[in-house]
Structure 1
Amino acid sequence: MQKFSDVLYGRVESDCDTNKPFKTLLHLYGLIGIKPKPKGFLPTLHMVIVWMAFGFTPLLSIVGFIRFQKTATITESLTRLQAVINAIFIVVKSLVVLVNLKRLENVEPVMKSLDERYNTTQERQQISDCVAACTRLYASMGCLYYSYGTLSILSALISHKQPFGVWYPFLDLISNPTIYFYTCLLLEACYGYFLLAAQYLHDIYPTLYMRTLRTQIQLLRARISRLGEDPDMSDKENHKELVECIDTHQKILQVVDMVGSVCSPTIFIQFSVVAIVHCICMVNLFIFADTINKVITILYYATVGMQILPTCYEASTLEMESSKLPDSIFHCNWLALDKRGRRLITFFIQRAQVEVSFVAIQMFEINLRTYVAIFEEAFTYGKSFTVH
């Protein structure tokens, strides 16, 4: 098996499989108990324990937040409220992914069949570069998420306060305040990293699939541009090549539908969370926070924004790449094709004009325009509170 560091630095095997990042994703989902049908007693027990933890998260977070209000300032309450909202919606997203995980598993055979159509050195290198880019995405987003978790725990250790404020009912029996604090800190570190792992995977998986789809469209465009250029190919061979290009495009759209059915609800939830948290941040920033808390709020605001930025960026670049496909078809050497091939080219151009895009619950498109609009709305609402 190839080392993670080799993939991270671009030293990827030439026969690298597009499904490699997806296999890692499904394995990581399995580690946190999100798997469709566990086999055996221990895997089933693991999944039951994990989903008990997920199930109690909203209750423990809300009760902890209410108890926290006894001694908290308004700034501290608003800061803690953001974490509570995130924790509750992590559970909802986890449930959505669990129900639809089989669809993500069904992507693998389709991607494998697409990979088998590209055998030149340049094409294999392009697939390898895509795998390396996905690996870097794993590493960069993982560092960002777990750095936030580690800083939260360290700051709680210094300030002698619970980092996430979750309520643990049985720990109230501990009378010694020092033992109580460090026991809570240890539990919150484990619990917090567990929820961070779920949040990390929910935020990264749409980006991985979109990045891979972008590479597949680039490969398809390059293949179409060579259509009819080889004088040694007969009309029958050119026709077969064109049919394979059309079939490749159909398979890409099939993957878009499968991934989109899972992404749609989870990204809608994440957009909603980001919008709510940003509004709270703006209210806190413009009204209640002092200088230190303003800096903390701005940092948190930027961190939350990073949760959907990679997905929106990849969705926008995927839209842009797919919009170039009809031009690539039109500029191929279609004059070298026979009458049957020219009719197919006309059909292909019409079919390729279908935009490859992702939509959140049929309400708004997932792209950078929506991302910017959320920030603008959050800023507007925050400013409106200061006026009133």
Structure 2
Amino acid sequence: MKRGDTAVEEDEKDGEVLTWQETGGSVLKYNIRQLHVFGVWPLPGSAPFHAYTVLVSAIGLAGLAQDLAGVCACWGDLQEVTMALIHILSVSSGFVKLAFFVRRRRHFNALVRRTDRLVAAQGHFCDADATLRATFRASHRKAVYVTLLAYGYLSVQGVIWLPLPLIAHPGERRLPFMQMPAAATASVYVYALLYSLQCLSSMFVTFVGVTVDCFFAVVMIHTAVQFRILNTRISALRADAAVPVDTGTAVGGQTSEHDSLYKQLCQCIQTHQRLLRFVTYLDSVMNPIAMTQFTFGVIVVGITLFQASYSPSSSTMFKCVTWLPMPSTQIFLYCWGAHDIMDEGQSVSRALYSCGWVDAPPGFKRALRLVMSCAQRPISLTAGRVYAINRATFISLMNAAYSYYTLLRQFNSR
């Protein structure tokens, strides 16, 4: 069988639907199962599950349609329109991410399997070294904490946003996000329906969008730690630390040590190539999602900052102040994770230079020069294949959000 055919078959197998049992040992278990709870990720799918997915999508679309209808009814009131846009854009961002996920579900399945294989490939090195094991466990805990903190903060936001109209404006029939003129005169059942629809649509779709962001953040955390483990392995390459491969054929033990050292270097090269291929695949899957979050997130941050500064309602100001960190954090997750991968990738050449190459044989030094030349090429993840993602990108996006806030402020002062 040709190598190309084998690669195609492997890609097809990686894209097969995951099962609940299969995700039990995955480093992405919490993110996958959370998306399953919200009807997004089948493990595997069934008729009731697909019906549940349709129901969740219908609730989200109905809530979005209600917001758009409210904007049309309140057009001309900048405060009401911008307040509604915060919710509309947040929900729309979740729907766009959901659409990308459904359209490219096989790629997400493949990404999970490749991430787990990437982690497992260096697992035996972590098992044999206490320092590497501690490094991996610390990163795994960080990945879990990122997910749990995001869910916890969203839950707190739900507790603040959803019941606040009933607490701050009792008897006025206010809605959580978009005020509908019909809500004040309609029956209590219609008001309850409108209120519930806004709450449910916001909860489902916003949680889906944030969970997708956390999914990619966790993938990037594990990718960065695999580079870190590789750098530690490379730095530890020493002729006196090498394990003999075939002591029976060694002359005075020297040849065997050199062969073992060269073999370990080859293993590190293979791991590095595997990591580079994985980063390329991760970029192909993640870049449209990242671009979606950057586009919607910048606008949401600008509008939320405007509402927090100029809203005449103290309850609205409180809601916006507490919500403002969320879209900013969603953007930061991508920039932080991608920058860590870039830093660890650049550290490979430094690790090669710090290994025991001085006493190594000429063949080892020649191979080392080739690998060092390859490792100096920058590693980068992109948003929409338009620009690189890093911490400087986060600063520029926050500046863009502030520019949008300034534009709204000038428009409001006229």
Alignment TM-score, normalising by the size of structure 1: 0.83
Q: Distance in 1 between matches of 2:49 and 2:401?
A: 43
Residues paired across the two proteins, number: 365
Q: Distance in 1 between matches of 2:303 and 2:204?
A: 25
The equivalent position to 2:68 in structure 1, one of 62, 67, 86, is 62
Contact 2:39 2:52 in 1 (8 A): yes
Letter aligned with residue 90 of structure 2: N
The secondary structure found in structure 2 opposite 1:337 is: coil
Residue 88 of structure 2 is matched in structure 1 by: 84
Provide the aligned C-alpha RMSD in A: 3.0
Q: Distance in 2 between matches of 1:125 and 1:18?
A: 22
Give the superposition deviation at 1:312: 1.6
Contact 1:156 1:163 in 2 (8 A): yes
Contact 2:299 2:404 in 1 (8 A): no
Deviations 1:268-321 (A, max 9, x none): 1111112222333455566x5338355654443333212212332232233222
Q: 1:32 to 1:319 in 2, by over 3 A?
A: same
Residue 355 of structure 2 is matched in structure 1 by: 332
Residue 118 of structure 2 is matched in structure 1 by: 110
Q: Distance in 2 between matches of 1:133 and 1:110?
A: 18
Q: Distance in 1 between matches of 2:241 and 2:161?
A: 65
Letter aligned with residue 101 of structure 1: F
Give the superposition deviation at 1:88: 1.4
Q: Distance in 2 between matches of 1:85 and 1:229?
A: 58
Structure 2 stretches of 5 or more lacking a match?
A: 1-22, 244-256
Letter aligned with residue 150 of structure 1: V
Give the superposition deviation at 1:109: 2.5
Contact 1:264 1:359 in 2 (8 A): yes
Contact 1:103 1:259 in 2 (8 A): no
Q: Distance in 2 between matches of 1:315 and 1:117?
A: 25
Deviations 1:28-65 (A, max 9, x none): 22222223684433333333333444555543442243
Structure 1 stretches of 5 or more lacking a match?
A: 1-16
Residue 8 of structure 1 is matched in structure 2 by: none
Q: Distance in 2 between matches of 1:294 and 1:175?
A: 26
Residue 38 of structure 2 is matched in structure 1 by: 32
Residue 45 of structure 1 is matched in structure 2 by: 51
Q: Distance in 1 between matches of 2:163 and 2:45?
A: 39
- For the pair 1:165 / 2:170, whether they are aligned, the reply is no
Residue 132 of structure 2 is matched in structure 1 by: 123
Residue 228 of structure 2 is matched in structure 1 by: 218
Give the superposition deviation at 1:25: 1.5
Q: 1:369 to 1:212 in 2, by over 3 A?
A: same
Identity of aligned residues (%): 17
Q: 1:19 to 1:364 in 2, by over 3 A?
A: farther
Q: Distance in 2 between matches of 1:151 and 1:177?
A: 25
Contact 2:269 2:371 in 1 (8 A): yes
Deviations 1:130-171 (A, max 9, x none): 11111111121111112112211121222342213398xxx9
Letter aligned with residue 212 of structure 2: H
* Correspondences of 1:2-13 after superposition (within 5 Å): none
Give the superposition deviation at 1:208: 0.8
Contact 2:64 2:201 in 1 (8 A): no
Residue 11 of structure 2 is matched in structure 1 by: none
User: Computing the radius of gyration over CA atoms, which structure comes out larger, 1 or 2?
Assistant: 2
Q: Distance in 2 between matches of 1:39 and 1:52?
A: 18
Letter aligned with residue 89 of structure 1: S
Deviations 1:102-144 (A, max 9, x none): 3323322233223234322222222121111111111211111
Alignment TM-score, normalising by the size of structure 2: 0.78
